[in-house]
Structure 1
Amino acid sequence: MQTAAVVAVFLAAYVLIATERIHRVAAALGGAALMVLLGAVDEETAFFSTETGVDWNVIFLLLGMMILVSVIRQTGAFEFLAIWAAKKARGRPLRIMVMLVLITAIASALLDNVTTVLLIAPVTLLVCDRLDAPPVPFLIAEAMASNIGGAATLIGDPPNIIIGSRAGLSFNDFLVHMGPIVVVLLGVFLLLCKFLFARGLEYDAAKAAALMKLDEKEAIRDKRLLVTSGGVLALVIIGFVTHSLTGLAPSMVALLGAGAAVALSPKLEPAEYLEEVEWPTLVFFAGLFVMVGGLVHVGVIGDMGKWLTSAIGSHWLAGASAMLWVSGLLSGIVDNIPYVATMAPLVVDLTKGADPTQAHAMWWSLTLGADLGGNATAVGASANVVVLGIAARNGHPISFWRFTKYGLIVAPITIAIAWGYVWLRYFALA
């Protein structure tokens, strides 16, 4: 009875989020409250459990990077990048989109996809404002590019960190196994951008001509703050890359960076360095984590995973295929972070005693499915939710279905290509 009620609450909340009958934050918090009333979660499982509770590492990673972005924004660096990018692309929106998509994908592999969209979105908004172009297509494309590019490295997407920890996979393992397919997928996505977004990329030719005459160097308002905050950002990036050596979690690195940036900016008021903090987004994530935690706690997701494990048996190609497509499907429905946190222990059990190649096939199928499936819907990945929050706060709301109508094209195509890669590398050529 409890399990049925928990599933009903989750589905109802998800329908409200998808249809936007009420604000997504209200839907997530209402769903979380009902999970508590149903006894599916309590304060221990909601706030302190690593399996069913709020993932504070994600929350504080976002908070720290939002504060750091707020400090950097005061320098005029985003205006500089906006003018520079637009001039390099000669004011043509599709060229600008390609440039920003490439920057986003590469940066997502070096940083993480959430941090990247926090940095790129303000630049995008400024470029579009200068050209009088609609920013929504750019933001959607960047969110998807961040999920594709982030799949390439251990730190590129939060689910990768969970998988690397559970499977004992290193930064170099991700580069070797995920790097090649990510390059292919990024090329395919750039082609898709032309077909999906090109028609809506209108702009003001006069504004584009005026933009070409601007000197981007004049946009820098505070050179001292730019040097100090840029130095802090560089150290944060180093911290992300070396976290396996230092033992500092990305969330701690982000908070230390935010604290250092604020301490080195004594002239900034709290309202200025908290300007970019997306409080509704953080609260939405907390509610979503609690709702998914309720499903985990009553055994719904675990039962699905066990069924998959028993169905696979010794059929490794079928198992890897199922893992890839099921992960893609479920990561489009629930955020891919709690999904991977639930599935990773099941894959550990499944691959015990397996041949290393077969084990790799399962782990990389989980990784590809979770990362690429996150593009399917507006709530499938953390980067998507962050972009929607930034867009809404800047007066360009992106509805659940506007994002999802593109995601339901991009996700299946990229997952299908990824399946071909898994089959070729771990079975046909093994």
Structure 2
Amino acid sequence: MLAVLATDPSGHGAHAVSQNITYGFTGILIAMILCLALEEKLHAKKSLIVGLFAGVCMLLGGILHIIPFGQVTLPNGHHVSMPVYIPAVDWGVIAIILGSGIFVDVTSRSGLFTWIAIKLTKASGGDLMRLLWYYGLMTVIFSAVLNNVTAMIIVGSLTGVSLKRLEQSDKLLGFLLIEALLTNIGGLLTLISSVPNIIVGQTAGISFMAFFFKAAPFVVIATIVTVLMGAKVFGIQKLIDDEEKEKASSLVAGFDENDGIDSPGFFKFGAIMLIAFIVVIASTSVLPVVKDLGMGFVALFFASLMLIRYKHEVDEFYRAVDWDLLGFFVALFVVINVMEHALVLDLIGQGVTAMVGSEEGPRGTSILLVAAAGFSSVTDNIPLAAMLAKILASTGTAGDSSLWWSVIFGANLGGNLTPIGSASTLVAVTLISKYKLNLSFAGFVKKAVPFAFVQIVLAIGYLLLFG
């Protein structure tokens, strides 16, 4: 039987993994995705579903000796002993979600988000179409300079406040879905907007400015198309009737942006901290010391600073944390890690290589982008981007080849195909559930696929014309 060697991250060397094992774990991955699709019918939370699959994967991985045990070698050469599932989890992502979630929750108590929401609502004159443009652009910018998770948390919170005050909560589902889709478009704007950008950009030798100038035109086009398409699909229209305009203006005029401000001092502190948070997290990669600690540290540190205001009742904010979302992410990282050791991701990479072929051209560019998007919709786009980057580098692909951009565009846009395709879409689904809006896994896919299809077609056309 044919067997291949997989590298053991613990430093114990390589180990053989048979094709039967790889195919078996591929079946487990497919089964997990199907169970998530049937989440509503199973009456089970995402964290439980993926947690059970993580347990099965760990047990089988241990029995079949495909996952490492014992000491783990750190970058500094030191050896530490820890449970095998600990290094499997991307704790930076967990820290970002936990820290930014608490930070936003505490900052909202200052009345800052309500103030911004009402200011934007007033500027829109009560016109939902104008408000959609404002929030859409804010989502793209926040996703580019922060990260898509933080952007979705902040803009999603603002949206809930605004539409509730405008008595337009029936449009909330449409707004949140459009914003979720725009987070992954915004993630394409700069080299540091997403991890796949960094991985592929560094491997291909693409500079920060070269990346921006290449990606920016597409981001502008995709944002405009997504907002216009979303407005049509969800019935978000510009006010035309004079009576409706007068009613909306009257409703907006009755808003008081200072209504939710209990403490002017805390409001100012919250505003200063929000600006500082955005600036620091946006420049994390260049700040001394902070760049080594990472964005997760920044999010948790700023959350701690904000909690000082409520130092005697911090447990209230801990209870409000979405532990289901965090549990889901931890379990998902474990599953993906085992899949890597079982060479499931390598199998995906081999399939992609076979489809693309050896020639660079329209066919290879298009197929690679679609394949990257498809696989990114059901698995972590970070190891996928790393794997595809290694494949392209090993074949001597030129740094200006459109194939690199196929991976970048596909890895980011694939997150719009399913709720598990990206962290921001998962956050959006969580917000949708929080506001008691009815949307299942399959329901999300049904609504999101047309948008993702158009975005992917636009990306293919853009790369064929300007790649």
The TM-score, its normalising length taken from structure 1, stands at 0.88
8 Å contact from structure 1 (residues 331, 370) kept in 2: yes
Name which of structure 1's ranges 341-350 and 31-40 shifts more when overlaid on structure 2.
341-350
CA RMSD for the aligned pairs? Answer: 2.7
Provide the residue aligned with 1:261 in structure 2: 306
How far apart in 1 are the matches of 2:392 and 2:85?
24
Provide the residue aligned with 1:30 in structure 2: 52
1:230 aligned to which of 263, 271, 284 = 271
Provide the residue aligned with 1:73 in structure 2: 108
Q: 1:386 to 1:208 in 2, by over 3 A?
A: farther
8 Å contact from structure 1 (residues 153, 178) kept in 2: yes
**Cα deviation, residue 185, structure 1:** 0.8
How far apart in 2 are the matches of 1:162 and 1:254?
22
1:7-406 matched pairs, under 5 angstroms: 7-20=26-39, 21=42, 22-39=44-61, 41=67, 46-48=85-87, 53-130=88-165, 131-134=167-170, 135-198=172-235, 209-246=250-287, 247-248=291-292, 249-263=294-308, 265=309, 267=311, 269-274=313-318, 277-309=321-353, 311-350=356-395, 352=396, 354-358=397-401, 361-406=402-447
How far apart in 2 are the matches of 1:296 and 1:180?
35
Name the structure with the higher helix share: 1
**Cα deviation, residue 45, structure 1:** 5.2
Show structure 1 runs of 5+ residues with no match. none
Render the CA deviation track for 1:196-237: whole Å, top value 9, x for unaligned.
11179999x978743431221333223322333333332332
Q: 1:37 to 1:116 in 2, by over 3 A?
A: same
How far apart in 2 are the matches of 1:113 and 1:59?
14
How far apart in 1 are the matches of 2:222 and 2:312?
42
How far apart in 2 are the matches of 1:336 and 1:154?
15
8 Å contact from structure 2 (residues 128, 236) kept in 1: no
Aligned with 2:255: secondary structure?
A: coil
Name which of structure 1's ranges 141-150 and 249-258 shifts more when overlaid on structure 2.
249-258
Show structure 2 runs of 5+ residues with no match. 1-19, 70-82
How far apart in 2 are the matches of 1:208 and 1:5?
61
Q: How many residues align?
A: 417
**Cα deviation, residue 268, structure 1:** 5.8
Aligned with 1:369: secondary structure?
A: helix
Q: 1:45 to 1:183 in 2, by over 3 A?
A: farther
**Cα deviation, residue 24, structure 1:** 1.6
**Cα deviation, residue 313, structure 1:** 1.6
**Cα deviation, residue 309, structure 1:** 3.1
**Cα deviation, residue 278, structure 1:** 2.0
8 Å contact from structure 1 (residues 87, 212) kept in 2: yes
Aligned with 1:333: secondary structure?
A: coil
Rg larger for: 2
Q: 1:195 to 1:58 in 2, by over 3 A?
A: same
Aligned with 1:214: secondary structure?
A: coil
**Cα deviation, residue 251, structure 1:** 1.9
Q: 1:3 to 1:235 in 2, by over 3 A?
A: same
Render the CA deviation track for 1:85-113: whole Å, top value 9, x for unaligned.
22222223333223211221122112111
